[in-house]
């Protein structure tokens, strides 16, 4: 059935349902189950636009090492525009809230301590296909596995102190951006 979903060559950022179903990370937050409720569902008409915003943090290790400027340069040179940005510092409680999704994981407590151990820079970024392209730019979570030339390969110190955060879905990019920024703090 997935072969019925056609991509429009004039809209390179539109994703076919086939692409979404093949993406095990489900970056686009689409529930296939919900589509089954539409009685007049026409598969060839279903196309979904990838979002154009993501959220990042320059983490305490990179900030402390004086790498914020170099990292922001790489981000801008990769075509991302800054929509909102601030230097700040999380409390352990706020770090715990931000990373609540990882609460059950063994590294959660360490992660919250680390993320509140020093200043960070938080930013909302804009670019076509922002979430996916930013994940490519930063590289794998563990810098040992990150591709050459990625931000984490160049700047990360360890799997925990890995220089930058990048949202993993359009939905989380919005939640994370809203966590830090009011509408007044954003470029319109």
Active site residues: 165
Q: How far, rounded to the nearest angstrom, does the alpha carbon of residue 35 sit from its chain's CA centroid?
A: 25
Whose Cβ is closer to ligand ADP: residue 44's or residue 136's?
A: 136
Handedness of CA 85, 95, 178, 54 (dihedral sign): positive
Choice from 53, 84, 96, 165 touching ligand ADP (CB under 6 A): 165
Token pair in block for residue 179: 């966590």
3-state secondary structure of 77: helix
Displacement of CA 147 from its chain's centroid (Å): 17
Residue whose token pair is 């601030």 = 86
Binding mask 89-128 for ligand ADP (x = CB under 6 A): -------------x----x---x-----------------
- Three-point CA angle 117, 118, 120, nearest 5°: 125
Among 168, 173, 180, 181, binds ligand ADP (CB under 6 A): 168
Q: Is 162 in the site for ligand ADP (CB under 6 A)?
A: yes
Closer to ligand ADP by CB, 17 or 123: give it: 123
User: In terms of CB distance, is 127 or 165 closer to ligand ADP?
Assistant: 165
Q: Which does 171 bind (CB under 5 to 8 A by kind): Mg ion, ligand ADP, none?
A: none
For residues 172 and 146, what is the distance between their CA atoms, to the nearest angstrom? 22
Q: Is 160 in the site for ligand ADP (CB under 6 A)?
A: yes
CA–CA gap between residue 128 and residue 163 (Å, rounded)? 23
Interface with ligand ADP (CB under 6 A): 102, 107, 111, 141, 159-160, 162, 165, 168
């Amino acid at each position: 059935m997935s072969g019925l979903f056609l991509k429009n060559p004039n809209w390179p950022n539109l994703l076919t349902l086939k692409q979404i179903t093949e993406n095990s990370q489900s970056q686009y937050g689409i529930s296939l189950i919900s589509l089954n409720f539409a009685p007049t569902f026409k598969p060839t008409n279903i196309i979904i636009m990838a979002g154009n915003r993501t959220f990042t943090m320059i983490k305490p290790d990179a900030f402390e090492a004086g790498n914020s400027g170099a990292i922001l340069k790489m981000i801008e040179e990769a075509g991302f525009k800054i929509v909102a940005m601030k230097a700040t510092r999380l409390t352990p409680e706020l770090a715990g809230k931000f990373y609540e999704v990882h609460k059950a994981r063994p590294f959660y407590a360490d992660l919250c301590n680390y993320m509140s151990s020093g200043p960070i820079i938080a930013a909302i970024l804009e670019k076509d296909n922002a979430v996916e392209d930013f994940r490519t730019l930063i590289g794998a979570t563990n810098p040992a596995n990150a591709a050459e030339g990625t931000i984490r390969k160049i700047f990360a110190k360890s799997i925990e102190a890995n220089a930058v955060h990048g949202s993993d879905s359009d939905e989380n990019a919005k939640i994370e951006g809203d966590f830090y920024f009011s509408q007044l703090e954003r470029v319109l």
